[in-house]
């Protein structure tokens, strides 16, 4: 079968190759991939700016149907529609796994990073990571369930967003837009995004389509003044940092109200980022660093999407055949696309 392989350490070194169809091992299933989404981390791997273990088939945001069961798999059948968590390699034994957070296990080697992923017709992996995909959710939409689950974990489980909260999302990339959608679904009374000039055309329009009350181009207006004006001089209950940009990370301390919360999802790609530490102390901010997604977040995300309460399909701008992966990567790098789905 054809698969998109990162075959060496270094920039680029990636191509569509003929590889052997994987065979499901004990406890695993073979999944026929129906749709797979290109993630920002795939771009970072392409440019050698993210951890990965080559040679590896990329692709970790996918949906498909079970093609074959490996030995010892119960409760699943060929033909079942599924999505999968990405925490392959999590040990199940360490303190972090045992206390209920296998997605943060240090032994985790995620699909498309440490083990072969889904930029291919077939992917094999553990049945215990599967979630049933409701009929109401098309495969293309299901391919964005992984980043959706990250937002559900980060915003609802970790930062504890409550109905009636005011929310500012910094950075309207895919994670920022999904965060906005989750905040809306959870009953935020006020929710909007900040971004730059390059976000005006596609991403701000999409934010409004997802129900944003405001969009702020930080190159043209002061986001702090605007958010204070929108919140009666108080500041936001919750700031969701989805850009990873140093200025936005520091600005979150000014956007959040006293006793407010900051939910950090965006990766900065830097060794250190300066923050106004004392300001955080004097405002008694709560700052939650977030990583990956819980089992429950997948179930909740799927239920919300199936019920039509979380319109995550709106962030999908392009669907291309796997052979056109390069075009998909370029569309994302030129910010012409938000989410690109590949069909193997």
By the criterion CB under 5 A, which residues form the site for Zn ion?
39, 91, 94, 97, 105
- Smallest separation, CB 97 to Zn ion (Å): 3
Distance, CA of 14 to CA of 282 (rounded, Å): 49
Nearer residue to Zn ion within complex by CB, 31 or 97: 97
Contact status, residue 30 vs residue 130, Cβ threshold 8 Å? no
Q: Residue written as tokens 């290109």? A: 38
Least gap, CB of 124 to Zn ion (angstroms): 19
As a whole number of angstroms, the distance between CA 249 and CA 254 comes to: 10
Which residue, 105 or 310, has its beta carbon nearer to Zn ion?
Answer: 105
Distance CA 77, CA 82 (A): 11
Least distance in Å: CB of 113 to Zn ion?
9
- From residue 335, give the alpha-carbon distance in Å to each of 78, 196, 331: 38, 12, 6
Q: Name the token pair of 57.
A: 């088939």
Comparing CB distances to Zn ion, the nearer of 57 and 285 is 57
Contact 218, 192 (CB under 8 A): no
Name which of 173 and 260 has its Cβ closer to Zn ion.
173
Shortest Cβ 52–Zn ion spacing (Å)? 13
Which residue, 91 or 209, has its beta carbon nearer to Zn ion? 91
Query: Which residue, 58 or 105, has its beta carbon nearer to Zn ion?
Result: 105
Question: At its nearest, how many Å lie between Zn ion and the CB of residue 47?
Answer: 15
SS3 40: helix
Core vs surface per residue 245-276: b (16+ CB within 10 A) or e:
beebbebbbbbbbeebbbbbbbeeeeeeeeee
In this structure, are residues 283 and 256 in contact, taking their beta carbons and an 8 Å threshold?
A: yes
Distance (Å, rounded) from C-alpha 322 to C-alpha 328?
9
Which residue's CB is nearer to Zn ion, number 94 or number 234?
94
Cα gap 328→61, rounded to integer Å: 15
DSSP reduced 3-state for 316: strand
**Shortest separation between residue 189's beta carbon and Zn ion, angstroms:** 30
Min separation Cβ 40 and Zn ion, Å: 7
């Amino acid at each position: 079968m054809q698969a998109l392989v990162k075959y060496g350490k270094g920039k680029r070194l990636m191509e569509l190759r003929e590889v052997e169809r994987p065979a499901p091992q004990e406890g695993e299933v073979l999944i026929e991939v129906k749709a797979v989404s290109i993630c920002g981390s795939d771009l970072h791997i392409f440019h050698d700016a993210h951890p990965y273990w080559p040679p590896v088939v990329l692709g970790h945001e996918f949906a498909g149907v079970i093609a074959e069961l490996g030995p010892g798999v119960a409760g699943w059948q060929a033909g079942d529609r599924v999505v999968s968590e990405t925490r392959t390699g999590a040990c199940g034994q360490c303190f972090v796994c045992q206390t209920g957070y296998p997605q943060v296990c240090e032994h985790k080697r995620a699909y498309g990073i440490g083990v072969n992923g889904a930029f291919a017709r077939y992917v094999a992996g553990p049945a215990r990571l599967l979630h049933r995909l409701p009929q109401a959710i098309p495969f293309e939409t299901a391919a964005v369930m992984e980043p959706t689950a990250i937002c559900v974990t980060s915003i609802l489980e970790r930062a504890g967003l409550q109905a009636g909260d005011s929310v500012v999302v910094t950075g309207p990339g895919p994670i920022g837009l999904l965060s906005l959608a989750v905040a809306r679904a959870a009953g935020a009374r006020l929710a909007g995004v900040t971004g730059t000039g390059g976000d005006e055309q596609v991403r701000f329009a999409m934010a409004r389509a997802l129900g944003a009350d405001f969009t702020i181009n930080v190159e043209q207006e002061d986001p702090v003044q605007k958010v204070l004006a929108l919140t009666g001089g108080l500041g936001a209950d919750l700031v969701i940092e989805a850009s990873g940009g140093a200025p936005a990370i520091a600005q979150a301390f000014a956007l959040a109200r006293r006793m407010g919360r900051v939910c950090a999802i965006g990766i900065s790609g830097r060794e250190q980022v300066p923050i106004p530490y004392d300001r955080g102390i004097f405002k008694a901010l709560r700052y939650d660093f977030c990583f990956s997604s819980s089992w429950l977040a997948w179930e909740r995300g799927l239920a919300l999407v199936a019920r039509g309460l979380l319109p995550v399909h709106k962030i999908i701008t392009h669907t291309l055949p796997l052979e056109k992966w390069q075009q998909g990567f370029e569309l994302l790098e030129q910010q012409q696309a938000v989410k690109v789905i590949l069909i193997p």
